[in-house]
């Protein structure tokens, strides 16, 4: 039987995420994907991000320039590159191509961290990417080429999602790195409850609506190419406006540190 090398259709990817499932591959060159529904799930509560003193200092000093969706292709390539602590990447060429298409349609996003390099050029030194819909962001992978680069990207992600009114930041699997930043492990059943709640419009919830299997099924069958595309980019842009209004346009990292300190 011939392996499928076409991209995963964007509508299928989004329906899977709305059902609490995500794809992986066994290696970079593996043309096949398998769908994962872990028994235990890692999430990072948006009000529970752990901003250490050293990370707050890094943010305030502005060691990195931080952007959103400026270099999605480069971020996913860096996340898929070989690592010392892993034999091979689960981000296959097919998966990477699938998320690039999802990004073109406005449903996959990246946060990038940059530093000055030789000759006055900027170098991409860290970042992350994931899938956004409704009030949910599913983080897929992150990378760091220098100390704190991915932590700063994650801090900006949390601040931007808060600003956008998001409710759920999915980290898929827990790691010591994520746990040190506030990630916790919950059962898949609990994750699905939180996911269903985040798929229900806030106005409907305020009117007394509650999560239900019917609501989850309706969300999965909706026009997924049009739903929930602007959360992270809109929240990121709003943070820059807020920083400028606070007189910190030249030091937005200082504003991010303040916002996370006040609510952590």
Q: In this predicted model, what pLDDT tens digit does every residue of 53-103 receive, in sequence order?
A: 999 999 999 999 999 999 999 999 999 998 766 667 899 999 999 999 999
Least confident of 74-78, 199-203, 253-257: 199-203
Q: What is the pLDDT of residues 6-47, one digit of tens each?
A: 999 999 999 999 999 999 999 989 999 999 999 999 999 999
DSSP 37: -
pTM, two decimals, is 0.87
Is residue 59 within 8 Å of residue 155, measured between CB atoms?
Answer: yes
What is the mean predicted confidence (pLDDT) over 131-155?
96
């Amino acid at each position: 039987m011939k392996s499928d090398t076409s991209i995963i259709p964007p509508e299928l990817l989004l329906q899977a995420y709305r059902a609490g499932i995500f794809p992986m591959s066994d290696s970079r060159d593996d043309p096949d994907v398998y769908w994962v529904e872990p028994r235990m799930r890692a999430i990072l509560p948006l009000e529970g991000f752990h901003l250490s003193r050293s990370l707050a200092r890094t943010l305030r000093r502005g060691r990195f320039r931080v952007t959103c969706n400026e270099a999605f292709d480069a971020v996913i390539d860096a996340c898929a590159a070989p690592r010392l602590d892993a034999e091979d990447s689960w981000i296959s060429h097919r998966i990477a191509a699938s998320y690039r298409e999802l990004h073109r349609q406005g449903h996959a996003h990246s946060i990038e961290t940059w530093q000055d390099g030789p000759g006055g050029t900027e170098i991409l030194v860290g970042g992350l990417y994931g899938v956004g819909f409704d009030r949910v962001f599913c983080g897929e992978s992150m990378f760091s080429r220098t100390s704190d680069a991915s932590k700063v990207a994650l801090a900006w992600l949390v601040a931007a999602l808060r600003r956008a009114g998001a409710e759920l930041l999915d980290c898929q699997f827990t790691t010591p790195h994520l746990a040190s930043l506030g990630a916790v492990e919950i059962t898949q059943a609990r994750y699905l409850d939180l996911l269903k709640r985040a798929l229900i419009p806030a106005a409907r919830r305020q009117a007394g609506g509650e999560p239900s299997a019917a609501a989850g099924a309706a969300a999965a069958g909706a026009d997924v190419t049009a739903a929930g595309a602007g959360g992270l980019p809109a929240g990121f842009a709003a943070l820059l406006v807020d920083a400028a209004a606070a007189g910190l346009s030249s030091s937005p990292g200082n504003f991010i540190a303040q916002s996370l300190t006040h609510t952590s």
